[in-house]
Each structure stands twice: as C-alpha cells, then as structure tokens.
C-alpha cells in the first residue's frame, strides 16, 4: 500500500485553488494576536530587571557610603542630631506647651496646611496636630491668615485636647495669648498708666471695654461723662486699671481715674486741640483728649453768633483755651473768643485764630498774672501787719525795708487791658 501511495503524484496547487488558503481561515490571525502579548511581556520583564539592577546598584553604593563615610554630605553633626532628638521628646498631654524650633533640620511645630476652619501643624508627634480657627487668636478673626498663621510659620502652641476620632492633638494659640495679656495688664496696673479701651458692650451696671485683648468692666460710677452705655458703643475711652484678677477672671477699669490724671494737666489759660462732637443751641461740645468741654456760644467770638452751625460743624478740629475747670463736677469751659487777634476773626478767619492761638493765650495769661498781682498788692495795702511783701515778680515774701509800712505804691503796676 505504501508503494501504491508512493506512486501517486499530485499536481501543485495553484494560487487560485480554494485549497491554497488554510482550511481554518482564522487560525493565522489568532496566532498573531497571541504572539503580541508574549513579546510585550518579555519587554516589560527586561525593563523591570534593568530597574532592579539599577536600584541594587544604588543600595550597594549607599551601603558602602554609610559603612565608610556615614557623615559625608550631611549639613549637621551627630551631636546636633542627638540634641534635636532630645528636643523632640515631649509629653503631648493636655496643657503641654509645644515650642516650634527654628532649626533648619527641625520640622517640629511647622504649620504646613491651612483651611477655612484652622491649620494643620506638624509637632513631630505620631499624627499631625490641628489648630482650630477659634483657638488661633485672642481676637476674633475670619480666617487663620488674619492671625498671621500661614504655611511655614513657627511659634509656640498649647495642647488643649485630643481628637478621639483620629488621635490627633488639638492646639491653641489663644490660651498662650491670654496668659500674656493678663501679665501685661498686671504690669500696666503696677505702672498706673492710662490705656485706651474700645467699648464693645453695655448693660445696666456699666459698659464692657476691650483692653489688651481682654474684656474688662467699667461701672457707670467710674465713667466721668453722663451718658448711656449705648452712646458709648464702639467708642474708645481712656481707662485705668482698678482690679486685675486672673484667677477670678475679673478685670475692672475706671474712666474717672484716667480722666483725673488728664484733667490735672489742664491749666487755666492753656491751649489744647480738640474736635467738635456735637452742637447745641447754647454752644458746642468739644472733645479734648477724652474730656468733653463746653464752648459756650458767648465764647466763640467777640462778634455775635446767632447760628453756631455757620461757624462750627461736628468733626471740625480747632484750638481752644481753657477758661475754667471744675474737677469735682468734671466740667471744663472753653473759649476761642480769647484767642482772636481782632474781634470777629473766629467768624471771618478762623485759620488765623488757630495760628495765633499760643501767642494770644500768652497775652491772656500775662493779664491774669497782672490781675493777681494787683489783688495781692491791694491785700497788703490794707494789711501791712501781715509781715509780707510783694516782689517785682508778684511773689509774696517777708516784709523788707523797701516796703513802707503805710502800703505799696501801685503807680508802676500796668492796668489790665480789656479783652
């Protein structure tokens, strides 16, 4: 049978024969699709092997460098690193202060992220610490940036709690600032200085003023002006400390004590600068450094003033002279009339009045001194037995031979000119 088959001869298949193509037409395409993933897998494996070899070389180099020269290329010494580790050890319990180091290799305490509700702070603990917005500043702020808290900031924080959800610590700057504010208030009280406080609230007993970031109470009995609490809202008052008790959170202030110091410096005939607060039919109230003085309509000018609004307006700055000062009643009388170089200047040319104010006030004080000297001289004229004499400067002294017993010769005393 083999011989029979061997004798068979078949003509070659032509290209047009239906048997010139494979019996299964999809077999060739399937073979191509299978071969492509195989090639890709081989290329990927080769790339991974190269990467592994490269990493192995890097590790070998690093190991050799650590074995032979461990400190090469390091910007700090081993002692500095050890000291830094000691600074990193802290008890992160509630009430712990965390100092943010400024060392370049220390990331401890660095603000690295801020959002609308606060800031994330790296204090080298197991997890990041969070500074809430309400703990960012002693003052009310809309965002932490207003308090100067930005990424990269370093300072000192206080651990005030822990978030149980993620074991993160809760920090505060506000608590530290409160401690500093109380210390500052105690210092100011010891120095007995006058401070400015902004009125932020009012009740039946007085007003609440903010000083050094703290809220203090000013009783109405300690306010020199007869006003309501609502009228003082958003205004600044000169204040002195009466009581500073951090343990009881009591901060009591006095406007009356502060005004007493300011008023002690107001001398009759002195010139001060003030601003017009309000106008009344009988005159204008002038604020002279926290003290309200009255510029009566009759003391505005030598010429008659029928309508104060034609001369002054609220907010105007002007120079006035102190006419009288009742410290017990807290009343100060003012005048621009005495400062006029010529009658009516306050109406026609107030700028000239303010330019010549000190000069005219000096003249006024001289007249006052002359009047007082004449009064003392008259007293000695009729009471020579007092044993006192009047010097050329108007100062009382012991009786001398220059003073005749029958009295003084007042012919040389100049008469006071009419203002």
- Does pLDDT of 105 surpass 70? no
Confidence of residue 365 (pLDDT cuts 50, 70, 90): confident
pLDDT of residue 69: 74
pTM over 0.85: no
pLDDT of residue 63: 76
pLDDT of residue 302: 92
Nearest to 299 by CA among 331, 263, 350, 333: 333
Q: Are 111 and 148 in contact (CB under 8 A)?
A: no
pLDDT of residue 339: 92
pLDDT of residue 215: 92
Q: What percent of the chain has pLDDT over 90?
A: 21
Q: What percent of the chain has pLDDT over 70?
A: 67
CB crowding 381-414: b at 16 or more within 10 Å, else e:
eeebeeeebbeeeeeeeeeeeebeeeebeeeeee
Q: Which residue has the higher pLDDT, 48 or 87?
A: 48
Q: Map residue 306 onto helix, strand or coil.
A: coil
Q: Map residue 155 onto helix, strand or coil.
A: coil
Q: How far apart are CA 53 and CA 35, in angstroms?
A: 28
Token pair 């406007």 is at which residue?
Answer: 255
Nearest to 130 by CA among 91, 178, 92: 92
pLDDT of residue 403: 42
What DSSP string describes 322-388? EEEEETTTTEEEEESGGG-SSTTHHHH-HHHHHHTHHHHHHHHHHHHHHHHHHHHHHHHHH-GGG-E
Q: How far apart are CA 260 and CA 290, in angstroms?
A: 11
Tell me the pLDDT tens digit for each residue of 178-218. 899 999 999 999 999 889 999 999 998 999 999 999 999 99
CA contacts within 13 A on the Cβ side of 382: 5
Report which listed range, 82-91, 116-125, 235-244, 265-274, is most confident: 235-244
What is the H or E stretch that residue 44 is in?
helix 27-68
Q: Which residue has the higher pLDDT, 180 or 122?
A: 180
Tell me the pLDDT tens digit for each residue of 232-265. 899 888 899 999 998 898 999 998 888 766 655 6
Least confidently predicted of 123-132, 137-146, 312-321: 123-132
pLDDT of residue 144: 87
Cα-based distances in Å from 367 to 269, 360, 381, 414 = 10, 11, 21, 9
Q: Map residue 153 onto helix, strand or coil.
A: coil
CB crowding 213-226: b at 16 or more within 10 Å, else e:
bbebbbebebbbee
């Amino acid at each position: 049978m083999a011989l029979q088959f061997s004798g068979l001869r078949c003509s070659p298949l032509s290209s047009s024969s239906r048997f010139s193509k494979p019996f299964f037409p999809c077999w060739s395409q399937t073979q191509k699709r299978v071969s492509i993933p195989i090639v890709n897998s081989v290329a990927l494996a080769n790339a991974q092997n190269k990467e592994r070899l490269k990493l192995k070389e890097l590790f070998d180099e690093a190991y050799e460098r650590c074995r032979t020269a461990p400190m090469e290329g390091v910007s700090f010494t081993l002692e500095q690193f050890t000291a830094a580790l000691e600074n990193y050890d802290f008890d992160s319990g509630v009430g712990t202060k965390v100092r943010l180091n400024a060392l370049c290799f220390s990331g401890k305490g660095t603000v690295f992220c801020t959002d609308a509700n606060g800031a994330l702070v790296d204090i080298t603990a197991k997890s990041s610490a969070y500074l809430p917005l309400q703990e960012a500043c002693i003052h009310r702020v809309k965002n932490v940036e207003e308090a100067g808290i930005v990424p990269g900031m370093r300072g000192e924080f206080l651990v005030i709690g822990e978030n149980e959800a993620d074991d993160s610590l809760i920090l505060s700057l506000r608590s530290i600032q409160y401690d500093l504010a109380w210390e500052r208030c105690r210092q100011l009280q010891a120095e007995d200085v006058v401070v400015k406080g902004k009125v932020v609230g009012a009740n039946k007993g007085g007003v609440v003023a903010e000083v050094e970031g703290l809220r203090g109470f000013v009783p109405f009995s300690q306010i020199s002006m007869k006003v309501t609490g609502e009228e003082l809202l958003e205004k600044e008052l000169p204040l002195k400390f009466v009581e500073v008790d951090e343990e009881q959170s009591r901060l009591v202030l006095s406007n009356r004590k502060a005004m007493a110091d300011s008023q002690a410096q107001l001398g009759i005939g002195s010139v001060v600068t003030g601003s017009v607060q309000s106008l009344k039919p009988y005159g204008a109230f002038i604020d002279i450094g926290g003290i309200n003085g009255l510029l009566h309509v009759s003391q505005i000018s030598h010429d008659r003033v029928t309508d104060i609004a034609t001369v002054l307006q609220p907010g105007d700055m002007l120079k006035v002279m102190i006419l009288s000062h009742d410290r017990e009643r807290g009343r100060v009388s003012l005048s621009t009339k005495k400062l006029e170089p010529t009658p009516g200047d306050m109406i026609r040319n107030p700028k000239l009045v303010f330019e010549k104010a000190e000069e005219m006030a000096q003249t006024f004080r001289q007249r006052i001194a002359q009047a007082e000297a004449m009064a003392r001289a008259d007293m000695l004229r009729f009471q020579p037995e007092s044993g006192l004499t009047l010097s050329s400067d108007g100062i009382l002294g012991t009786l001398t031979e220059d003073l005749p017993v029958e009295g003084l010769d007042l012919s040389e005393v100049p008469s006071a000119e009419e203002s």
